[in-house]
Amino acid sequence: MSRYSSFIAGIRDGIPIFLGYLAVSFTFGIMAKNGGLSAWQAALLSATNVTSAGQFSGLSLMSVCAPLTEVAVAQLVINLRYCLMSCSLSQKISGDTPFFHRFFIAYGVTDEIFGVSMSREGFLSPFYFYGIIGISVLGWVSGTFIGVVSGGLLPMRAVSALSIALYGMFIAIIVPPARKRKELAGIIVVSMLLSLLFTVAPLLREISSGFRIIILTLLISGAAAILFPISDGDEREEL
Amino acid sequence: MTTSVYAYIAVMAAVTYAIRLLPFTLIRREIKNKFIRSFLCYMPYVTLSVMTFPAILTATSNSYASAAGFAAALIAAYRRKSLIAVALISSAAVFLAELVLGM
């Protein structure tokens, strides 16, 4: 694939992310306004961080004038899952890709971009990443800006409906491969049930959502890798 | 003394970027180990499942509407609809459910 067609493929894959980000960052914009940020400051925050949970928590820490070290630790804890995702994504970049591209691709590692790009087969061109990151960040930043500027003007019912779009997209990524692979379907069901357990059970529910994701990812993916090791041939064919 | 908004933004951005960048600079070649390869193959499915459920039930303003969106997304994804189609179908289900529930 040429650079241009990789870039276009990335943009196309990013359209559902764009829509979902528009809704979530719109909500973030409204909160940023309540927290005393201007539209430009909120947009700058979104453009430089591109992370929903991290930004929401950063905003609440800012509003109580928390020390910078506390903000740094909170970001580390909440966003540590990106470290796992980057490990996985590093395997999607071919060895002949010039090294400097990694510095730009790393900027755009989010839950959604990770999910969509990992569902693509084989190595990915950096220009694919630039396409999907570009359109996703556009949605994230413009949604934030509009949220601050026009807070109550957009119909909240539409925002509420679009807020589920990103989860719908995740389901569209995980369900189809599970149709032909029974063990994958089992892994998905176990993951969801354990996640539910960690959300409602006493003690376990005290664990923050960031750590819940990390703990369960390490535990379940590790168990799956031991129980159902994948040989190179299967991997090419199925994932 | 109050800390500037820009200082907060800079610290948040620097920490988050460092977390994202580190593995990209440390893992430069293809991993050959079978266990790690299998782990990385399963990882996206586990992570996305854990992030989706039960969080999807509280994503919208009403948990019954969210459940309708979840069910619609499962059915559409099982029928191999595209990412954007599944995203929009689940949004439409939420929209309709909220109308019916009179939210």
Q: Using pLDDT thresholds of 50, 70 and 90, give the confidence band for residue A178.
A: very high
Residue A47 CA to residue A42 CA, distance in Å, equals 9
What six digits make up the tokens of A148? 């601050």
A36 with A148: CB under 8 angstroms? Answer: no
**Cβ-based neighbours of A54, under 8 Å, separated by 6 or more:** A74, A75, A78, A79, B12, B16
B56 near A CB under 8 A: yes
What is the per-residue pLDDT across A87-106, written as a single tens digit (0 to 9) for each? 999 999 998 999 999 999 99
3 state SS of A198: helix
What is the per-residue pLDDT across A129-163, written as a single tens digit (0 to 9) for each? 999 999 999 999 999 999 999 876 777 788 888 88
**What does the domain layout of chain B look like in residue ranges?**
5-100
What's the length of chain B? 103
pTM score, two decimals? Answer: 0.85
**What does the domain layout of chain A look like in residue ranges?**
3-173, 181-239
Residue of A68, A89, A170 lying closest to B52 (CB–CB):
A170
3 state SS of A156: helix
CB contact under 8 A, B30 and A119: no
CB contact under 8 A, A86 and B24: yes
Residue of A75, A116, A168 lying closest to B90 (CB–CB):
A168
CA distances in angstroms from A147 to A44, A49, A163, B71, listed in the order given: 14, 17, 14, 29
CB contact under 8 A, A49 and B13: yes
What is the per-residue pLDDT across B49-68, written as a single tens digit (0 to 9) for each? 998 999 999 988 889 999 99
B102 near A CB under 8 A: no
A77 with B12: CB under 8 angstroms? Answer: no
What is the per-residue pLDDT across A36-88, written as a single tens digit (0 to 9) for each? 899 999 999 999 999 988 898 898 888 888 889 989 988 998 899 999 999 99
Q: CA of A2, closest CA in chain B: separation in Å?
A: 23
3 state SS of A163: coil
Nearest CA in chain B to A57: B12
Is pLDDT of A235 > 60? no
CB contact under 8 A, B61 and A160: yes
Q: CA of A121, closest CA in chain B: separation in Å?
A: 11
Hey, what's the torsion of the CAs at B80, A23, A195, B71, to 10 degrees? -40
What ipTM is given for this predicted complex? 0.91
